[in-house]
Amino acid sequence: MAASLPEFPTSVKNFQRYLQIKTVQPTPDYATCAQFLRDMADELGLPHQVYEMAPGKPIVVMTWEGKDPTLPSIGLNSHTDVVPVYEEFWSEDPFAANIVQDDAGEHRIIARGTQDMKIVGMCYLEAIRELRNRGVKQLLRTVHVIFVPDEEIGSADGMKQFVHRDGFKQLNLGLMLDEGVANPDNSYKVFYGEKAPWWARFTAEGNTGHGSKFIPNTAGPKLANVINALLQFRDQEEKRLVAGKDEATGKVIREGDVTSVNLTMLSGGKQHNIVPHALEACFDIRVSPFVDYEKFEAWIAELARTNDVTIQYKQQYKADNLTKLEGSPWWAAMGRVGQSLGIEHDADIFSGATDSRWVRCLGIPCLGVSPMRNLPVLLHDHNEYVTVNGYLEGIRYYEQLIEELANVAA
């Protein structure tokens, strides 16, 4: 007989309730989620507003006013949507948020969104609860807790639009915290930048005819030249990453230092014996922030031009997306919290894309950190989980971090 589970604190039960709301793309239940968040805000005594960049896609902003609301505020951002699942590969119902004990005696909360990124949003709220319970009525700076939709599908109806609206501008952010990832090592990853997503579609057109003939100027060889060149570049970047160090400079090479290239879609053709008029190849390119965007774009454009191939970008982010750490009072405050709790911070570049990119390009510093260490990276994977102890540690971390950041002097 399986051992009975202990009675978990209310903060854990609240996390389970949040995870049980099916905010799964492509039809997230945003209405139930927004009501849950508004109820939490009322429970915590936080005034809140709801904005919509598109009907049925609420952005919930809770506000804890500071002693000096004229100072730039602290934003605590998280997205409410999660990616779909293959339920047949899960050991538990991915939306039940069941807690199971593993062989090491740890209690795992298994659910879609545990790592990406409902843990962060709930840690924000439970940390504020702990601060209030300690009798902290106000911090120096105002704190805004921001819950946004649609991050998992590009944020077109979320943060991407919100940053240009009056509701966002009135937040007067001096710093925004956002998501990170789990770390198998004993530290918290902190992301001060991220790779720029370039989604490119290459289209080759040429002569058509019978599949048995040597027809000149066909689409296939043109597109093949582009594909081969991009995959050769991919191999070079992968070798740099595997080597781990730049031979010329001695610099350590990490994932954020290299540009990833992946062929994700191929399409075209009618049947086996007809040479196609047109063929298409789509690539997901994530450009390192240390790359000269203009030079890299020019190289791709020349590659397409010399092979008589057209290129269209579905997404091409080229704004500056690095937050300065040296001399930053925010980074210094984070360091003090880490030292107090015995938690190391590992500063890095995020390999994917987050909502921080829309905020950084406005000149607002952003740091991405999720309170997960000694944990496999399972975002978008089967059996996504965090441990109860890890979640509770995250609450303690954010309790100190929010207090420290919001009390940074002018």
pLDDT string in tens for the chain (410-residue length) = 456 788 999 999 999 999 999 999 999 999 999 999 999 999 999 999 999 999 999 999 999 999 999 999 999 999 999 999 999 999 999 999 999 999 999 999 999 999 999 999 999 999 999 999 999 999 999 999 999 999 999 999 999 999 999 999 999 999 999 999 999 999 999 999 999 999 999 999 999 999 999 999 999 999 999 999 999 999 999 999 999 998 888 889 999 999 999 999 999 999 999 999 999 999 999 999 999 999 999 999 999 999 999 999 998 988 878 999 999 999 999 999 999 999 999 999 998 889 999 999 999 999 999 999 999 999 999 999 999 999 999 999 999 999 999 999 97
Angle at 65 between CA 60 and CA 67, to 5 degrees: 165
What pLDDT, on a 0 to 100 scale, did the predictor assign at position 353? 87
Sign of the Cα pseudo-torsion (312, 315, 320, 324, in order): negative
3-state secondary structure of 302: helix
Among 83, 267, 61, CA closest to 166: 61
Token pair 């009390």: residue: 407
- Name 317's Cβ contacts closer than 8 Å, sequence gap at least 6: 196, 197, 198, 353, 357
Q: pTM for the full model?
A: 0.91
Catalytic positions, please? 81, 151
Task: Determine whether the annotation assigns residue 116 to a binding site.
Answer: yes
CB of 190 closer than 8 Å to CB of 334: yes
What pLDDT, on a 0 to 100 scale, did the predictor assign at position 1? 40
Q: Cα separation of 197 and 177, whole Å?
A: 20
What pLDDT, on a 0 to 100 scale, did the predictor assign at position 160? 96
Cβ atoms < 10 Å from Cβ of 345: 18
Q: Cα separation of 57 and 149, whole Å?
A: 6
Q: Cα separation of 353 and 379, whole Å?
A: 13
Among 404, 245, 251, CA closest to 338: 404
Phi, psi at 96, each rounded to 5°: -95, -20
- Packing angle, helices 119-133 and 30-44, rounded to 10: 20
Q: Cα separation of 152 and 50, whole Å?
A: 20
Rg (CA), the chain: 24
Cβ atoms < 10 Å from Cβ of 257: 19
Beta bridge partners of 58: 52
Joined tokens for residue 172: 């007067």
Element (H, E) at 400: helix 388-406
Sign of the Cα pseudo-torsion (149, 152, 156, 161, in order): positive
Q: Cα separation of 58 and 52, whole Å?
A: 5
- Packing angle, helices 10-20 and 119-133, rounded to 10: 150
224 CB burial (10 A radius; 0-12, 13-18, 19+): middle
Task: Determine whether the annotation assigns residue 179 to a binding site.
Answer: yes
CB of 259 closer than 8 Å to CB of 291: yes
CA 123 to chain centre: 17
Q: Which domains does the chain have, with CATH numbers?
A: 10-194+320-406 (3.40.630.10), 196-316 (3.30.70.360)
Beta bridge partners of 59: 51
CB of 98 closer than 8 Å to CB of 110: yes
Sign of the Cα pseudo-torsion (349, 400, 15, 343, in order): positive
Task: Determine whether the annotation assigns residue 380 to a binding site.
Answer: yes
CA distances from 311 to 202, 233, 304, 319, 379 (A): 5, 17, 7, 20, 31
Q: Cα separation of 64 and 141, whole Å?
A: 9
